[in-house]
Structure 1
Amino acid sequence: MERLKTATGLLIFLIIAPGSPATGPAKEAWGYVDVREGAHMFWWLYYGNGASGSYKELPLVMWLQGGPGGSSCGFGNFEEIGPLDRDMAPRNTTWLKAASVLFVDNPVGTGYSYTDTEEALTKDVAMIAADMMVLLKSFFTSKAEFQSIPFYIFSESYGGKMAAAIALELTKAIEERAIKCNFAGVALGDSWISPVDSVLTWGPYLYSTSLLDDYGLTEVSKAAKAVQQAVDQGLFQKATELWSVTESVVEQNTNGVNFYNILTQGPDERVKQSADLGYLSLLMRRHVLPLHRQSLSQLMNGPIRKKLGIIPRNVTWGGQANDVFTSMEGDFMKPVVDIVDQLLVAGVNVTIYNGQLDLIVDTIGQELWVKKLKWAGLPNFSQQRWTALDDPTAPGQTGAFFKTYKNFAFYWILKAGHMIPSDQGAMALKMLSMVTQQE
């Protein structure tokens, strides 16, 4: 284990771990960065091992999980795109075939990241972005070999909302020469960019897929309009409460549809039995609990914790997740469409990708907020016809559609829910290669 002082004066731990078929890639590194007093953020880097055999010929991708409170180093790594699944078996569709991957437990308090006090938890995406600038400055200073390698931010769910804000601050930091890196773009997967547009389209989407009848559509639409009214009035905490109410109305009228994939099993008994709890507890059980399944928690707090060797004794993986979620309550329903607009105007490459079977961030809701962009290129983008992509696992069958114009792209991923790499791993890997211009 190597202890390094970065140019920012922050202490990080760096471990280079030799790999084997049992442990995954040939090279790994991980560590902590103190992003603020009392706020400690954990990162885990896997060096890419594509066909070229050299990570220096591959891009670097940072993966940001949702929640907020979902662990990139846990869920994103072992459930979606890392070299091994939660049973420690090799993943055929790992993103390490096309990139080096940096997982960050973000915001502080998520996964192995932790804070010394509840007061140190983040309250909004601005605080999250500020913390991430400290981590990225430390990372690119200590691992200077990545400064010239194309760097992309990929995200999922609430992670997309955070990624947009982080991408904008990173663009500014690079211009000010505060951070040296080759930032190449941001990809927003099933992202909570405009919450009210998602909520407003739940009813029509479910109705079109025969999961609501006329009566249910009326009830869900009424509840969604109450959310919109609160957002329009700037009552974002009230909007969060009404968002939870709307989800309950959806569950009652669909016999418990799964918000993450409408074709799979709905909420488990832990959610169904919590109907008498407060709205934040309900939201946490729907959107944070699925990211901390017992089997994953046992893995992260057992063998993985032992392997890493630097997790403080008083820190439990995921132990502060509920606190992270609660602390961000006032930020949940605030849109960041304006940030995406600023990214496009600044020339940043922005990619939207969405799963056909996702409900919580349904595709028609994404399309709705995209139409609100003030970006000058939007009319030309809208006039483009989309292009079909073959399913890599079934040649001749359509796996996705995509459309692109200048620095903006949209991917419609078929047969996938909220967690696209889990549902359609090969298609997600192909999309990654296209976005990073390897195909």
Structure 2
Amino acid sequence: MTESTQLIRSSDTRTAAQIAASHLKRRHAAERRFKAIGLSAVVVAMTFLGLLLFTILGNGLSAFTQTYVKLDVTLSPELLGIGEQRTAEALATADYGGVIKDAMYKRFPAAQSRAEKREVAGLISSGADMALRKALAANPELIGTTQTFWLVADDTVDMAIKGYTSRQTGQEGNRLSDKQLGWLAELEADGGVTRRFNSILFSSGDSREPELAGLWGSVVGSVFSLLITLAVSFPLGVATAIYLEEFAPKNKWTDLIEVNINNLAAVPSVVFGLLGLAVFLNFLGMPRSAPLVGGLVLALICLPTIIIAGRAALKAVPPSIREAAAGLGASKLQVVTDHVLPLAMPGILTGTILGMAHALGETAPLLMIGMVAFIVDIPASPLDPSAVLPVQVYLWADSPERAFVERTSAAIIVLLIFLAAMNLGAILLRKKFERRW
């Protein structure tokens, strides 16, 4: 081999090595850019999520406390308007509001004009009489005595105590007048104002007064709706998945059914609400705003998710399980019910819980069937009118009072806790019962 040939081959080798090194360098740079883009996307998503949670918690945590005012109340039979009567009927119709106003007038005797008396009485919630009503119902012997009660403050007082509205006198736009701010400062100086856990939020239904508005009615309505949804969608979804995966012949009709089920999973939820309005309310005449109808509509939304998850879980069971059971003489039904279905059940349950969590957060279809109505009473059955948590958020977010802003965020926090619990349940089920083949 000549010297010139060796030089050419050596040059070619160096050129190939340089080209390979250049390609490798560009590939590594592309990988670094891809990782940086992915990391940036995660950081941006987590930033927005953190900002959302920070805003919700910042607005909503204060709703879990409520301002109360201490007041010495004289439970005079004359002021109560019951005379010598002590029956339950008389106590139920007594003038508790008049007794509270009289106590406020005595607490602030400087309030003489009608306008001043109206302002001083406005420091206490219009629903504060419930504390007196419960106390006298439990112990009528209190009539004729003077008792100290912690009464719910008006929402304007509550917002001022929590710092959401200004307490500086003379400012334009204050919800509390200068005299009310002075009376409030006097109550605070005497230890007559405190903040306690807002039990009303978890024991009462909706109200026009923010300080009296609670979530319990919508929580009960959501539970009733989800129970109806589970009772309807789970057996239908599992049965459909079993039939399509294990028994249905593979032809154009089953292919058409599968395509339609997949399409139903992508249909906007408001369409199901229109279907519920047309069928359940207008055609079948079911009660409007009832959890029964809401549960049926949500079941229609959950069905495609449960069917798809159920088929995936059934398909994940190895064919050897079926073959072994059939080889021992089991019928097709016994193979499915005794062997395949128990092994696929964890995946089916996981899909069901995720579908139920999706249904819990739905609002649009429930608005279409009238569950946006203002309901004060706690529903006693799925046939009673009720709201649900997402609709309650919608109703409170549309209210002009500042106190409803924090209650809207508090309702979102409760809803997120429900959703997190359901998703955590799905994860635990998958971790506990999942089998790897």
Above 0.5 in TM-score? Answer: no
- Larger strand proportion of the pair: 1
TM range (shorter): under 0.3
Larger Rg: 2
TM-score by length of 1: 0.23
Q: Of Structure 1 and Structure 2, which has the larger fraction of its residues in helix?
A: 2
